[in-house]
Chain A
Amino acid sequence: MSMSADVALHNYLIVGAVLFVLGSVGFLTRRNLILMLLSAEMMLQGVALNLVAFSRYHQNSQGQAFTIFMLTIAACEAALALALVLSLHLRKRTLDSEAWSTLGEEGVSPDVVTTEETTEEVIPATEAIRRALKRPTWGGDPYTTELIEAAKSDKKSLAANEQPAQQEMSTHA
């Protein structure tokens, strides 16, 4: 084989190796089940790159035929794995892989700290308006202007804080 084919193979093997390793790092570090599956698919993509590079180097279609088989297996794996993930999600209503870590030994704690699940708060509209009026506006975005208009028209709910609110609206408007 001439040198340029060697060089091309060398380059493609490096890219395939980096893709594989990044996929394995993603698989080991992420906690979301679906992202772990996506990282596994990326590992398969790195291997496919290796196969195609060797196929070109040896002037053979065998590597590409193997890549087609691998693509098919990846599709099967994705379908089955996603069905399993959905079933798991139904049990615990979460995609967290640490939710299933208690299937391990007794007395061994999971090695990750689960923080409090913070979702978006649901607050009454009047409270939201109050908070928006207290926040400084950077150049009058239409959302805050809308809130100010709504606050001006909704005098009954702001009865308790009406005077300071009026003063704040005059400085902001």
Chain B
Amino acid sequence: MEWTANNILVLATVAIGYAITWRLLPRESRGPADWLIGVGLIVLVGCWFVWIRPTGHGMLDFLFALFGLSAIAGAGCMIAQKNPVYAALWFAVVVLSSCGLFLLQAAPFLAAATVIIYAGAIIVTFLFVIMLAQQSGKAAYDRNSRTPAFSTLAGFILLAALLSAIQESFPASAAPADHGGHGHAAVVGDPAPLAGVENGVNPVAAVALMSSEPAAASKDAHADHDHAAGEGHDHAPTTVPLDAKGEHATAAVGSVKALGENLFGKYLWGVEIVGTLLTIAVIGAICIAPKREEMAPEGSA
């Protein structure tokens, strides 16, 4: 039972998520307690604010919450939709939110590429095929799910494992409650209740706090963070010196130049092989796809 007490946060989040997802999956009969689903969704949004640690930059947190919540909400709506066209459109919402998250991680080229390829090509192709092959009216295979209870349980057991692994890998090293009188904590904005919860459930962090060595390390982290917050940078400086021509000598991470240097320098073989794979896939799709005479008798699609 000590394991349960230590991981109560993971178990509670996963249990609520399981209940809500299982409730929302398509079924023939309509459940009576829709307001319970609403309450559960509000609790899940609360779980977001418990799990997601604030970085200390308000705008960054707000944008991350906006894109992250819309990605998760879009994913939930996509798997709960009875109409496959709507599900494809919710998937477009997921892809766009994911592109927003890419932008927040300084990957502008990747964000643009994902929008163009995923939302622009893959989803459109999916919609075409749905229109071609979809039965008119809501089909029985869209209204029902396949063993929803056990499938959702399998997925959420995986989520519990992932969440507990992430939680253990990132112990809350700064604990203002244990360093009484450390005045910088208030400035940095580390939420004391959150650290308390994490330390309460995380045995690794609790053990780490017993010894004095992490105390010194976290004091250094505090000072570092203050210094960094004062400067406005998160990590190693991204300002790169310009060379004689006025261009960046070593390009910033995520720019087209850095990606190009990586793709065509280090991963040149990979690029060539993937190009060949694309050609093979196109040839294969043309061979596999039904001939026009076979498709035509289906009607006005």
Binding site for B on A (CB under 8 A): 1-15, 17-26, 28-32, 34-35, 37-39, 41-42, 45, 48-49, 52-53, 55-56, 59-62, 64-65, 67-69, 71-80, 82-87, 89-90, 94-98, 111-120
- CB-contact partner of A94 in B135, B136, B234, B274, under 8 A: B135
Within 182-231 of B, Cβ neighbours of A (below 8 Å) are at: 221, 224-225, 228
Assess whether A96 is in contact with B141, with CB atoms less than 8 Å apart: yes
The 8 residue pairs across chains A and B that have the minimum distance between CB atoms = A26-B79, A28-B151, A76-B281, A25-B155, A96-B141, A31-B141, A17-B162, A83-B288
* Majority secondary structure, B binding face: helix
Task: Say whether A38 contacts B88, CB under 8 Å.
Answer: yes
Q: Is A72 in contact with B136, judged by CB distance below 8 angstroms?
A: no
Chain B residue nearest to A119 in the complex (CB): B137
A21 near B155: Cβ-Cβ < 8 Å: yes
Among B52, B125, B126, B277, which residue has the most Cβ atoms of chain A within 10 A? B126
The listed residue (B126, B152, B282) touching A37 by CB distance below 8 A is B126
User: Which residues in B have their C-beta under 8 angstroms from that of A13?
Assistant: 166
A22 with B163, Cβ < 8 A, contacts A41-B91, A55-B253, A71-B113 known: no
Instruction: Name the residue of chain A whose CB is nearest to the CB of B235.
Output: A5
Contacting pair A80 B52 (CB below 8 A): no
Interface check B129, CB cutoff 8 A: yes
Which B residues lie within 8 Å of A83 (CB)?
284-285, 288-289
Is the CB of B31 closer than 8 A to any CB of chain A?
no
Chain A residue numbers with a CB within 8 Å of B258 are: 61
- With A5-B235, A116-B140 in contact, is A75–B121 under 8 Å at CB? yes
Query: A21-B159, A32-B84, A45-B94 given as contacts; is B225 within 8 A of A52 (CB)?
Result: no
Which of B's residues lie within 8 Å of A, judged by CB? 21, 25, 28, 51-57, 64, 68, 71-72, 75-76, 78-79, 84, 87-88, 91, 94-95, 98, 101-102, 105-107, 109-110, 113-114, 117-118, 121-122, 125-126, 129-130, 132-137, 139-148, 151-152, 154-156, 158-159, 162-163, 166, 169-170, 173-174, 221, 224-225, 228, 234-236, 253-254, 258-259, 261-263, 266-267, 270, 274, 277-278, 281-282, 284-285, 288-290, 294-295
On whether the beta carbons of A2 and B234 are closer than 8 Å, the reply is yes
Contact present for B285 and A79 (CB under 8 Å): yes
Residue of A nearest to B133 (CB): A89
Q: Is the CB of A29 within 8 A of B68?
A: no
